């Protein structure tokens, strides 16, 4: 008997590196869980095979394959929906996130706060849904997922709308990746389950009046390798060529190497602090080259890294971390019992992360050189009481195994291994043919509009044809209504 495969679709957008990192962390956890299930099944079937061979009373003729069904396997798809399945101008507008937070973060903060209400969110959905709905239709028809998981706030309401309009009964979950400042768009009525990282986010969810049975407080997804055994701090420091006995400060600016790394390095060097630095510049090749050129002129020892894959080792080798207020890096630092100095934050989106760090006393906010130097002096002096207190608080808050808990929660929403999925039923196959037909019709209409003269494009016939596509499912569904809907 062959194990049935279940398909898990993660919806993300590469607005920053955090959403894809969270999806990758959960994916790695699912793969580890699946590998363990397969190994346990092989061990169990091998044991049963031996027992059936030596047992003289085994006359039933039952095979091992019939007695023990193999666990399911998992096909996982991670899709940047805006980049791959949305239309202009939505696809291009989403790309403004990076430049905005880099060059005008105050503007981003103002937009965040203005839009963090029901009215603006619903208005935004009304404007953007026509630019992405047919893309989601094509995505669902192509991938045929057994479960859909959103890891981006702007994808929740439109996915609920798409599933309802297409009459697809597929479990839909949302994994929230903001610690405290959770935007209104994260929570959409109709989602089957919400996985959230903190009690503050849970309280915000409950204030919205949503179903408390659907919320799961499981922590922030970080890479499963943060749970693996690791060498001692002394061994890791020797591995990276660090000086023994000298406090190690790790400076991280995220995947793009932002967060004021250069200014922080310059301030620490100017203060001549008795520390040594490890600096992770990420994908910022210009900053990496600049630090390499100037490191001989610095007044502190420094080791420079580009984009790294061994962040757990770097964090365990350090005594303090200086970073921007990204939720992923904060959660990773806590899992390594590392005090946090926040060198900056994105207004609106990351303001709550600062509150989370300071109110739980696991770190401080230091956005200017004097505050940064003062915080480092207090944390790196021998026998520092601030360091001991923050280490204890970090141990209390850390959830290094959150990705495994989230993965298990997602898997619990999948159909059982012996059950048919929505795509395998007769109803599902008819629905798929109808959806594919609608998609082809939408493409034909779009091509027609690109070749017709402009006066005709403005005519009532084309407008009527175009608007009819949005009602196509309702008008043509007929007896294709899902069996569970017929009693409504």
Q: What is the pLDDT of residue 463?
A: 53
What's the CA gap between 196 and 177, in Å, rounded?
7
* Cross-strand pairs, 217: 196
Q: Which two tokens stand for residue 62?
A: 């039952």
Q: What is the pLDDT of residue 191?
A: 96
Does the domain formed by 225-400 have CATH 3.40.50.2000? Answer: yes
pLDDT at position 130 over 50:
yes
In this prediction, residues 425-437 reach a mean pLDDT of 68
Cα 284 off chain centre by: 22
Task: Report the chain's mean pLDDT, rounded to a whole number.
Answer: 84
In this prediction, residues 419-423 reach a mean pLDDT of 78
Q: What is the pLDDT of residue 470?
A: 43
Cβ atoms of 189 and 205 within 8 Å: the answer is no
Cβ atoms of 335 and 354 within 8 Å: the answer is no
Q: Which long-range contacts (CB under 8 A, 24 or more apart) does 101-107 make?
A: 101/16, 101/346, 102/258, 105/346, 105/347, 106/347
- The residue ranges of every structural domain in the chain are 5-222+404-412, 225-400, 436-473
Q: Which two tokens stand for residue 302?
A: 């420094």
Higher pLDDT, 249 or 429: 249
CA 307-273-300 angle, 5° bins? 50
Q: Which long-range contacts (CB under 8 A, 24 or more apart) does 343-346 make?
A: 343/259, 343/260, 343/264, 343/367, 343/372, 344/259, 344/260, 346/101, 346/105, 346/108, 346/109
DSSP category for residue 347: T
What's the CA gap between 322 and 376, in Å, rounded?
9
**What tens digit of pLDDT does each residue of 435-486 get?**
666 555 554 444 444 444 555 445 554 455 445 444 444 444 444 344 444 3
Superfamily, domain 5-222+404-412: Glycogen Phosphorylase B; (3.40.50.2000)
DSSP category for residue 177: -
Cβ atoms of 116 and 184 within 8 Å: the answer is yes
Tell me, yes or no, if the two domains 5-222+404-412 and 225-400 fold the same way.
yes
pTM comes to 0.83
- Confidence bin at 65 (pLDDT 50/70/90): very low
How big is the chain, counted in residues? 488
What's the CA gap between 234 and 452, in Å, rounded?
72
């Amino acid at each position: 008997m062959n194990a049935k495969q279940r398909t898990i679709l993660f919806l993300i957008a590469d607005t920053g590196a955090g959403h894809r990192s969270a999806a990758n962390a959960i994916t790695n956890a699912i793969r580890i869980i699946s590998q363990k299930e397969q190994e346990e099944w092989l061990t169990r079937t091998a044991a049963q095979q031996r027992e059936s061979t030596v047992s003289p009373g085994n006359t039933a003729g039952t095979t091992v394959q019939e007695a023990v069904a193999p666990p399911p396997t998992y096909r996982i798809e991670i899709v940047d929906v805006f980049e791959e399945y949305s239309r202009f101008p939505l696809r291009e507008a989403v790309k403004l996130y990076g430049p905005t937070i880099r060059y005008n973060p105050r503007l981003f903060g103002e937009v965040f706060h203005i839009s963090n209400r029901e009215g603006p969110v619903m208005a935004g959905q009304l404007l953007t849904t026509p630019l992405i709905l047919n893309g989601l239709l094509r995505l669902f028809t192509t991938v045929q997922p057994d479960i859909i998981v959103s890891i981006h706030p702007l994808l929740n309401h439109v996915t609920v709308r798409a599933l309802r309009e297409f009459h697809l009964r597929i479990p839909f979950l949302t994994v929230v990746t903001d610690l405290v400042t959770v935007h209104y768009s994260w929570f959409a009525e109709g989602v089957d389950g919400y996985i959230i990282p903190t009690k503050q986010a849970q309280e915000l969810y409950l204030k919205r009046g949503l179903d408390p049975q659907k919320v799961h407080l499981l922590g922030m997804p970080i890479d499963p390798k943060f749970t693996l055994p690791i060498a001692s701090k002394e061994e890791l420091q020797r591995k990276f060529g660090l000086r023994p006995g000298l406090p190690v400060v790790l400076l991280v600016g995220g995947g793009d190497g932002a967060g004021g790394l250069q200014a922080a390095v310059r301030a620490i060097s100017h203060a001549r602090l008795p520390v040594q630095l490890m600096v992770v510049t990420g994908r910022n090749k210009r900053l990496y080259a600049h630090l390499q050129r100037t490191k001989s002129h610095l007044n502190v020892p420094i080791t420079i890294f580009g984009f790294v894959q061994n962040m757990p080792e770097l964090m365990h080798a350090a005594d303090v971390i200086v970073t921007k207020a990204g939720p992923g890096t904060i959660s990773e630092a806590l899992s390594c019992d590392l005090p946090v100095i926040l060198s900056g934050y994105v207004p609106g989106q990351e303001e709550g992360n600062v509150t989370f760090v300071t109110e739980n006393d696991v770190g401080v906010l230091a956005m200017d050189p004097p505050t940064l130097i003062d915080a480092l002096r207090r944390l790196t002096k021998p026998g520092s009481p601030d360091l001991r207190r923050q280490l204890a608080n970090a141990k209390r808050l850390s959830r290094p195994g959150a990705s495994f808990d989230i993965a298990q929660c997602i898997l619990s929403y999948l159909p059982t291994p012996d059950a048919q999925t929505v795509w395998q039923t007769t109803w599902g196959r008819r629905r798929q043919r109808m959806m594919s037909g609608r998609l082809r019709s939408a493409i034909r209409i779009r091509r027609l509009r690109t070749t017709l003269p402009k006066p005709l494009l403005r005519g009532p016939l084309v407008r009527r044809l175009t608007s009819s596509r949005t009602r196509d499912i309702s008008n043509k569904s007929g007896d294709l209504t899902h069996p569970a809907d017929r009693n409504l």
